[in-house]
């Protein structure tokens, strides 16, 4: 039988961690990365896995901590899950079936995103959310980049060539992305602050004119191209945040020192 590892990367998630981990029993092993955790996350993780499957450390950048988790997984395939995500039974069964027959190196898993108790299915994108994520991959196929927010991905095929992407699965992850609109705006602030640090370090933050243009193009992409209009005012709000993200990042990178 093909083996499956479930990987969860955690930073002080005691309020929501158990609800995530209890839905991962369909995997053959559970690996939990504890990044600078000062709350009860470690104890909660030990209710669902053992000491040997905990990876503890301190990382300043998102990509390396995820790579540390991937390196600790022993399964033939790895499914990556964030603490604010739940794998429903139908998706768990589909994942187990897919890894037994797939010829691909990775698959996208679709998301149902929730703001509070409201499901928002359309309009996500432009670096402020997504409707599908490449979270199911063969061991060794995925490498995360060095960026603080939305790290880039590189892929390795089994024969050393280009990785093969398989079909997107049919069932969806339940993603509790924001607790409220205020929480969404706080996330926008965090994302743009981290992105500003990446821009400063790159030495090329871009231009005001280009980022103003990106505001409109990203708003259009989310509200029209990704059908955010189907969500009414929720879709407008998401498109607005998606447009503001690069513009705020640029302004923070050029107007602030850190």
Q: Measuring CA to CA, how many Å separate 155 from each of 1, 8, 62, 118, 139? A: 24, 20, 17, 34, 11
CB 151 within 8 A of CB 62: yes
pLDDT above 70 coverage of the chain, percent: 100
φ, ψ at 256 (rounded to 5°): -115, 160
pLDDT classification of 149: cutoffs 50, 70, 90: confident
Complete DSSP assignment for 192-215: HHHHHHHHHHHT----HHHHHHHH
For 80-117, write each residue's pLDDT tens digit.
999 999 999 999 999 999 999 999 999 999 999 999 99
Domains, the chain, ranges and CATH? 4-176 (3.90.550.10), 180-255 (no CATH)
Say if strands 106-115 and 173-178 run parallel, antiparallel, or are unpaired.
Answer: parallel
Calculate mean pLDDT across residues 157-185.
Answer: 94
Which pLDDT score, from 0 to 100, does residue 60 have? 87
The single residue listed with the structure tokens 């107007």 is 255
Q: Is the predicted pLDDT of residue 247 greater than 90, yes or no?
A: yes
In angstroms, how far is CA 99 from the centroid of its own chain? 21
Q: What's the whole-model pTM score? A: 0.90
Cα–Cα distance for residue pair 1/157, rounded to 1 Å: 21
């Amino acid at each position: 039988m093909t083996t499956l590892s479930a990987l969860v990367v955690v930073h002080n998630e005691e309020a929501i961690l158990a609800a995530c981990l209890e839905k991962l029993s369909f995997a053959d092993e559970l690996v939990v990365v504890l990044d600078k955790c000062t709350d009860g996350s470690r104890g909660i993780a030990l209710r669902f896995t053992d000491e040997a499957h905990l990876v503890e450390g301190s990382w300043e950048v998102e990509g390396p901590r995820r790579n540390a988790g991937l390196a600790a997984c022993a399964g033939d395939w790895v499914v990556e899950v964030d603490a604010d995500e739940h794998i429903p039974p139908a998706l768990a069964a589909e994942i187990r079936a897919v890894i037994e027959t797939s010829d691909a190196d990775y698959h996208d898993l679709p998301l149902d995103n929730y703001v509070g108790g409201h499901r928002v299915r359309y309009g996500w994108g432009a670096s402020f959310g997504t409707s599908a994520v490449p979270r199911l991959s063969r061991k060794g196929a995925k490498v995360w980049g060095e960026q603080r927010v939305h790290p880039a991905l590189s892929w390795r095929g089994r024969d050393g060539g280009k990785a093969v992407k398989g079909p997107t699965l049919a069932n969806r992850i339940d993603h509790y992305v924001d607790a409220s609109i205020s929480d969404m705006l706080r996330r926008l602030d965090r994302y743009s602050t981290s992105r500003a640090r990446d821009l400063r370090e790159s030495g090329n933050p871009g231009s005001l004119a280009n980022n103003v243009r990106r505001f409109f193009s990203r708003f259009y992409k989310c509200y029209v191209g990704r059908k955010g209009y189907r969500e009414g005012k929720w879709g407008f709000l998401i498109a607005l945040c998606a447009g503001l993200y690069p513009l705020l990042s640029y302004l923070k990178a050029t107007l602030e020192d850190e």
